[in-house]
Structure 1
């Protein structure tokens, strides 16, 4: 995986250490996460939880910056724990940790407010790169995930239209009132985010800095009342923007 952020970039952004809560019902699972994070001084273990109920309680007590949440746990699953934590503390970032790339679980996690997911079999460097990016609100979505969302997410309200149905309505798409809060620049950035481009890639194409891209993304999320890039991709799909070049 491409290194997304250097030490200089993080320090230049004025970031403090990222306090992390580890949640897994298996001790060896928490140990594995602890070992990976110990390789990077940017991360600080704020606490550990062996189940969803404990995770909800510790999230309130410790107020971590980031939670690594196992999906499958016996007492209270990671999905429900995520819902409860996000309802009480929406600013906490949550990344789901799983052994399988189950698209249904992933979509459900995103709908409940999670910022992303990590496979347990990824390399430590991939974990660290991704978690740094998440902590700085700069994690790009993989193109594979963007494609899956394009084909799997349906418009709000149900139904099963094919993506081609959206491509057949350019006039309606252009007139969509849902996009009117966005400037032309913001619409262009939204399209590129939805196609899986990173802040760096977007900045290079548009001739602006990564910092400027990040500021635009914050504005877009606020205007659309969304939380993350995956939700932006779903939104772009529902607006018929995914087929644009």
Structure 2
């Protein structure tokens, strides 16, 4: 049996954190291993608990959710960050992805969606609601395409294939099956792509792939 996903909750509203703990704790595949009410404490709790996923709000006292995300990703590269916030603004989504978040959800979503996002993020999926991602493309398109084309030139043809499949939300195992390579080889390709592009999450790379024209949004 697969070990439960270990999660730390970060939000300055204790009632909201309690609600999240109830929702997540009701699923045996998820285990809440820590909580924090501000950004500074969140980094300390994550450092001590070393969870699989930190769920955090963007609006936090102490240090912002974006800064908190950056610190956690820098110190704990194996820990993913799922932003759960009230904002559905495109700018906030893009900023969160650039800070290293692997997923982004809005607080008015269905509780079941949160559980599935946590499980999906652990499996390597990029977690961004399709409607929000589509709207974010408008913001991303404002960037100069030449800036997007430059880093793409650093990738080998195989790495460009892998990046496109990451953008489609495929996991390492699924990428391996699609390209007829070993899963560990697919994992290494993904890591090299992220390194070459200077990115810290699959979600950020997925947004970049669309911006660079590797695939069209559905």
Q: TM class, shorter-chain normalised?
A: 0.7 to 0.9
Tell whether 2:157 aligns with 1:187: no
Per the TM alignment, residue 20 of structure 1 is displaced from its structure 2 partner at its CA by 0.8
Q: 2:170 aligns with which of 170, 175, 199?
A: 199
Alignment-derived partner of residue 71 in structure 1: 58
Give me the whole-angstrom Cα distance separating, in 2, the residues matched to 1:182 and 1:146: 27
Runs of 4+ in 1 over 6 A off after TM superposition: 211-214
Structure 2 stretches lacking a partner, 5+ long: none
Give me the whole-angstrom Cα distance separating, in 2, the residues matched to 1:126 and 1:20: 16
Alignment of 1:128-207 (within 5 A): 128-139=115-126, 141-153=128-140, 160-161=143-144, 178-179=152-153, 181-184=155-158, 186-194=159-167, 197-199=168-170
Q: Secondary structure at the match of 1:199?
A: coil
Q: 2:81 aligns with which of 94, 106, 128?
A: 94
Give me the whole-angstrom Cα distance separating, in 1, the residues matched to 2:217 and 2:70: 34
Q: Is the 8 A contact 1:20 1:47 kept in 2?
A: yes
Give me the whole-angstrom Cα distance separating, in 2, the residues matched to 1:224 and 1:239: 15
Paired residues, number: 212
Per the TM alignment, residue 189 of structure 1 is displaced from its structure 2 partner at its CA by 4.4
Alignment of 1:218-237 (within 5 A): 219-225=189-195, 226-237=199-210
- Aligned-pair Cα RMSD in Å: 3.4
Query: Larger Rg: 1 or 2?
Result: 1
Give me the whole-angstrom Cα distance separating, in 1, the residues matched to 2:18 and 2:136: 32
Per the TM alignment, residue 182 of structure 1 is displaced from its structure 2 partner at its CA by 3.2
Return closer, same or farther for 1:123/1:141 CA change in 2, 3 Å cut-off. Answer: closer
Give me the whole-angstrom Cα distance separating, in 1, the residues matched to 2:69 and 2:164: 28
Give me the whole-angstrom Cα distance separating, in 2, the residues matched to 1:69 and 1:44: 16
Structure 1 stretches lacking a partner, 5+ long: 1-10
Deviates most, 25-34 or 74-83: 74-83
TM-score under structure 2 normalisation?
Answer: 0.79
TM-score under structure 1 normalisation?
Answer: 0.72
Per the TM alignment, residue 218 of structure 1 is displaced from its structure 2 partner at its CA by 5.1
